Structure 1
Amino acid sequence: MARGGVLNLAGAVLSQAALFLVMLLLARVLGVREVGRYAQVYAVLSLLGLLSLSGFRAGLTRFVAVHLADDDPAAIRGTIRLGLVISAAASTVIAFGLAVGAPWLARALHDPQLTGGLRLVALALPAATVCEAALAATRGWRRQRAYALIGQVYEPVTRLLLTALALFVGAGLTGAFWALVVASWSAAGLALVALARMLGRVPAARPVYRPGELFRFSTVSWVSSISSTGLIWVDALLLGFFDYGADKIGVYHVATRLVTVAVFVLAPINASFGPYLAHLYHQERWDEVRRIYAVATGWVVRLSLPAFVALLVFPEQLLRLIGGPGLAGGAAVTIVLALGQLVNAATGPCGTLLNMSGRVSVNMFDNLAALLLNILLNLWLIPAHGILGAAVAWAISLAVVNVARVWQVRVLVRAVPVTVGMVKGLGAALLALAAGFGVRSLVPGWGAQLVLGLVTIVVVYLGAVLALGLSREDVMVLRSVTRRGARRSAGGAGRGDATSVGAGRSAAATDHTGAGVGS
């Protein structure tokens, strides 16, 4: 499991770094107001992308794996063709509607200058949707390489380089949106090539279409994905509707992106552990399910804690590093968002466990409830408290839904995310927190405070973790990802990824819920 997560984790690091640098470039070159416009337009792209994909991301992954296990090449080809055609058609129709309605939407967001950006993301929408669908299908072979290299490395890095080039030649925010268009279409082309190569290993057969099973599963997954993504982006849109201005929205977006970086490990660990949770749950090996859930949660928490400590101690300094003194006012927003994400990390892959145990509808209702709560709290808090109110609404919604999921997992498999390793990590984090505040109070100058403080936090945290002792699972992980022999064995294990029809029959069959949705 550790070896399987290394590629996803590395891809997530590069992806988050690239997206963070895009935001940093926009803030430094164009200012916070343009970052706010970019955030609103990107929020529209993210929400419409999920609407276009119609839940086929999880459905394609699941049913390609199932049909591989059943030695059914006709169903494999039919499922992939059906998912790609419907996703492409839906995204094209929605993109046309967005392009026509862009002036109206820009006026609704109280910023007519958003019109051009909305029309450019309409051009990118079909490509982004097809890319997601194709990469989801490649994961049905239980291989992560195409997903990680194209979706998490190539697309964000290409977007970063093209954005930097656009800003260098003076193309401004319009150039940044064109960078998004070019990166999306080129990534879609690479994703289709990767999928075609995998299909080349499948025996030729006349496609067989089974839309009923695909639509039933994908509809639930679609609603869940829309809800979880809406929880991320609805704040920026509501701030626009309340006419808080692109500058305030820019501060909020920068704080949100900064906090998201702290918990980037959650998604790759979910992707790595999900199939194992499904396999063990299907075999009713409850003790191992509980152990894997606890270990995964412990890794998420301990890998995330240094970043959370840095956010709590140096919010003003980090914001100033990104966008100058104008962003320092977002320190309180950053702290509130960090506390909400800390609860998300501390509860671990509870949503993934619900999905992998077949409770996709439970996770869907959780996400819908969180989105509804977030909207209601935003409508109440934004008029009185602005971006701080939006942050409080988001943090409360995220904390409530994850606490509810922990209770559901407790009822389902009698598992709790608390382990000795997590407690040790929290103890080390408290020591690092105290050391960080010590540096902040003793060292003059925000730049020196930030550099020395970050170094101190990392050194104190790692030293405390080692002093408190590593668990048996931690030692196994370190050995598995550092030994050359282990890496060779990972290549051998990779042959169980079902590169041809019939390989990995039992493993693929137990991955019966597809890609996890939500945390």
Structure 2
Amino acid sequence: MKQNFTNLVSIAFVGGLVGRGLRYGFNIVIARGLGPDALGVVAFGLVVMKAISVVTRMGLDQAAQKYIPIYLSEEEPALVSGTTLLCIGLPTLVGAAISGSIYLQRRTISNVLGTDLGVTTQLFLVGVPLFSTMMVAATATRGFKETKYYVYTREIGQSIVAFVLAVVGAYVLSDVQAVIFGYLISLGFGAVLAISFLSYQGAFSFDVRPSVPLREVLGFALPLTIAAVTLYLVTWTDILMLGLFRTPTEVGWYQAAYQTSVLLSVVLQATFSIFPTLASDLYHTDQHERLGQIYTVVTKWVVALTLFGFLFLLVFLESILGIFGTTIRAAETALSILAVGQLAAALVGPAGLLLTMSEYERLQMVNSVLVSLLNIALNYILIQEFGIVGAAIATGVSFIVLNVLRLVQTWYLLGIQPYSRDYWRGLAAVAGAFPIMLLGQTIPLPTVLRVLLTGVISTTVFAALVWYFGFSDEDVLLLESLE
């Protein structure tokens, strides 16, 4: 089945919006139902669970995305089945083993860290193998050149169940542990859903004996674990260190700020579903000029849409954070800083993926290691001095440094940079919608309705201006005709 670039990215974008919205709502439910203290406890537990999961996945999510389409094209169902079983089974077993070991050594770990691994954090250890299985299996569905099954699993299925059970736990049972149990149930549901979709796509051939390409798959996957772990540290060191050095309430306020800033990344992340495949194909077939055009067009619209969201967030910053409950000035400052970091990532587009798919994956690993060390040092120093604002500064600076490195390396090594005069269309549309955002502050409606109404009107104006200014020839050729 042929699908063009626009269709695939649209599915990922809309699904990403839904998933981000549900996970954002999950945090709001906890904050308003149980308070910022409970949100901080849940946030710390989630980060611990996901940090361990990065290791237990062992890069097999990316390996599945690489090797499944290769074996499909070679019509090797035994290798497809073997690869799928390896990529799903190994993270499940390793995740269970590591989680069990951590639980048994919890007192020793608590003494080393100087903080207690509470009951809530211990509960999240159960989620490690479930989360690892779900994420690897969901990513493996992309190996069949489909983006919708990942969306159905992670963004819709698991996120809806987690949100609904969080409402029950927070408002009906009024118990943070009930919320965590509900989240664990959602992970199990997501894992089953992803495996079911893989079966539906024909990942398991029951009429042939699976052939497991162990050396080939692990040889590719394991080095990626280093890059994944260090990149994860860049993203989540702030929460981890806040959990160690500050109160759960402060962690809760920071989680509200961080999760709000992450909404700005949904446009860039939508490109991750299909851009790697295109970049790899064009680079290895020596179509470098076309690769540069795609990179420019994708980055242009990522910048325009993210800038639109960035300005909207700054205008309604206090109102949006207020959805979590009574906000504090430090959380507002932290959100502003984190939003700048997300905008910096948007300004270079999928440069990191471009380097990885152009045989510079080791350079990506070096970038991640260096920036993660910088991030750890900055967080350690600034959190103790400035609290959640210090954590935001450390994370924001790390994002900026990482993306400047990627931009310079992409230009120097590949001779590609994403900027052109054609950016004016998107930027003009943003400029036209911005006054609507400012006027929206004066609408005499309750906060939530005012924010939603202004969002709808300003988005409509933005879309109308984009349509009025029209699309360039590159937009039409590269976003509609690419298959």
For the criterion TM > 0.5, the same-fold answer is yes
Evaluate the alpha carbon distance shift between residue 117 and residue 74 of structure 1 in structure 2; reply closer, same or farther with a 3 A threshold.
same
2:418 aligned counterpart, secondary structure: coil
Find the counterpart in structure 2 of residue 164 from structure 1. 167
Note the residue ranges of structure 1 that are not aligned, 5 or more in a row.
Answer: 481-485, 494-519
The answer on whether the counterparts of 2:84 and 2:203 sit within 8 Å (CA) in structure 1 is no
Matching of residue 291 in structure 1 with residue 296 in structure 2: no
Counterpart residue identity of residue 40, structure 1: F
Cα distance in 2 between the residues matched to 1:149 and 1:461: 29
Select between 393-402 and 138-147 the one with higher mean Cα deviation.
Answer: 138-147
Find the counterpart in structure 1 of residue 395 from structure 2. 394
Residue 70 (structure 2) aligned to one of 66, 72, 89: 66
Cα distance in 2 between the residues matched to 1:16 and 1:392: 23
Counterpart residue identity of residue 134, structure 2: C
How far apart are 1:464 and its partner, in Å? 4.7
2:201 aligned counterpart, secondary structure: helix
Matching of residue 139 in structure 1 with residue 159 in structure 2: no
Identical columns (%): 25
What are the superposed Cα offsets for residues 347-375 of structure 1, whole Å, 9 maximum, x if unpaired? Answer: 00101111222222111111112211111
Select between 257-266 and 63-72 the one with higher mean Cα deviation.
Answer: 63-72
Cα distance in 2 between the residues matched to 1:165 and 1:446: 26
Select between 278-287 and 201-210 the one with higher mean Cα deviation.
Answer: 201-210
The answer on whether the counterparts of 2:80 and 2:204 sit within 8 Å (CA) in structure 1 is no
How far apart are 1:202 and its partner, in Å? 4.4
Matching of residue 207 in structure 1 with residue 198 in structure 2: no
Find the counterpart in structure 2 of residue 381 from structure 1. 382
1:265 aligned counterpart, secondary structure: helix
1:120 aligned counterpart, secondary structure: helix
The answer on whether the counterparts of 2:26 and 2:166 sit within 8 Å (CA) in structure 1 is yes
Cα distance in 1 between the residues matched to 2:159 and 2:108: 30
When the two chains are superposed, the root-mean-square deviation of aligned CA atoms in Å is: 2.7
Find the counterpart in structure 2 of residue 417 from structure 1. 418
How far apart are 1:104 and its partner, in Å? 5.7
Find the counterpart in structure 1 of residue 43 from structure 2. 39
The answer on whether the counterparts of 1:319 and 1:328 sit within 8 Å (CA) in structure 2 is no
Find the counterpart in structure 2 of residue 510 from structure 1. none
The answer on whether the counterparts of 1:309 and 1:457 sit within 8 Å (CA) in structure 2 is no
2:359 aligned counterpart, secondary structure: coil
Cα distance in 2 between the residues matched to 1:200 and 1:240: 41
TM-score, length of structure 2 as denominator length? 0.91
Residue 216 (structure 1) aligned to one of 219, 223, 236: 219
How far apart are 1:385 and its partner, in Å? 1.2
Counterpart residue identity of residue 372, structure 1: L
Cα distance in 2 between the residues matched to 1:103 and 1:430: 56
Find the counterpart in structure 2 of residue 123 from structure 1. 126
Residue 4 (structure 1) aligned to one of 4, 8, 17: 8
Select between 121-130 and 393-402 the one with higher mean Cα deviation.
Answer: 121-130
Evaluate the alpha carbon distance shift between residue 69 and residue 432 of structure 1 in structure 2; reply closer, same or farther with a 3 A threshold.
same
Cα distance in 1 between the residues matched to 2:453 and 2:192: 44
Counterpart residue identity of residue 388, structure 2: I
Note the residue ranges of structure 2 that are not aligned, 5 or more in a row.
Answer: none
Matching of residue 225 in structure 1 with residue 228 in structure 2: yes
Matching of residue 48 in structure 1 with residue 73 in structure 2: no
Cα distance in 1 between the residues matched to 2:348 and 2:172: 45
What are the superposed Cα offsets for residues 441-462 of structure 1, whole Å, 9 maximum, x if unpaired? Answer: x678983874665456435544
Matching of residue 86 in structure 1 with residue 90 in structure 2: yes
How far apart are 1:53 and its partner, in Å? 0.7
The answer on whether the counterparts of 1:123 and 1:181 sit within 8 Å (CA) in structure 2 is yes
Evaluate the alpha carbon distance shift between residue 311 and residue 368 of structure 1 in structure 2; reply closer, same or farther with a 3 A threshold.
same
Find the counterpart in structure 2 of residue 261 from structure 1. 263
How far apart are 1:300 and its partner, in Å? 1.3
Evaluate the alpha carbon distance shift between residue 413 and residue 104 of structure 1 in structure 2; reply closer, same or farther with a 3 A threshold.
same
Counterpart residue identity of residue 247, structure 2: G
How far apart are 1:60 and its partner, in Å? 1.6
Evaluate the alpha carbon distance shift between residue 201 and residue 27 of structure 1 in structure 2; reply closer, same or farther with a 3 A threshold.
closer
Counterpart residue identity of residue 163, structure 1: A
Count of aligned pairs between the two proteins: 478
How far apart are 1:466 and its partner, in Å? 4.5
Find the counterpart in structure 1 of residue 363 from structure 2. 362
What are the superposed Cα offsets for residues 469-511 of structure 1, whole Å, 9 maximum, x if unpaired? Answer: 4323545789x6xxxxx9xxx9xx8xxxxxxxxxxxxxxxxxx
Counterpart residue identity of residue 30, structure 2: L
Cα distance in 1 between the residues matched to 2:369 and 2:85: 30
How far apart are 1:420 and its partner, in Å? 3.1
Cα distance in 1 between the residues matched to 2:73 and 2:370: 35
What are the superposed Cα offsets for residues 393-419 of structure 1, whole Å, 9 maximum, x if unpaired? Answer: 111111111111111111233211113
Counterpart residue identity of residue 341, structure 1: Q
What are the superposed Cα offsets for residues 275-322 of structure 1, whole Å, 9 maximum, x if unpaired? Answer: 1111111110111000000111112122222210012222112111x2
The answer on whether the counterparts of 2:330 and 2:388 sit within 8 Å (CA) in structure 1 is no
Counterpart residue identity of residue 84, structure 2: I
Cα distance in 1 between the residues matched to 2:108 and 2:429: 52
Find the counterpart in structure 1 of residue 306 from structure 2. 304
Cα distance in 2 between the residues matched to 1:477 and 1:411: 24
Find the counterpart in structure 2 of residue 245 from structure 1. 247
What are the superposed Cα offsets for residues 368-396 of structure 1, whole Å, 9 maximum, x if unpaired? Answer: 12211111111221121111111111111
Cα distance in 2 between the residues matched to 1:59 and 1:365: 20
2:266 aligned counterpart, secondary structure: coil
Cα distance in 2 between the residues matched to 1:315 and 1:215: 45
How far apart are 1:218 and its partner, in Å? 0.6
What are the superposed Cα offsets for residues 204-225 of structure 1, whole Å, 9 maximum, x if unpaired? Answer: 3333333222122112221111
Evaluate the alpha carbon distance shift between residue 389 and residue 445 of structure 1 in structure 2; reply closer, same or farther with a 3 A threshold.
farther
How far apart are 1:171 and its partner, in Å? 4.2
TM-score, length of structure 1 as denominator length? 0.85
Cα distance in 2 between the residues matched to 1:451 and 1:153: 21
Cα distance in 2 between the residues matched to 1:192 and 1:451: 37
Matching of residue 352 in structure 1 with residue 353 in structure 2: yes
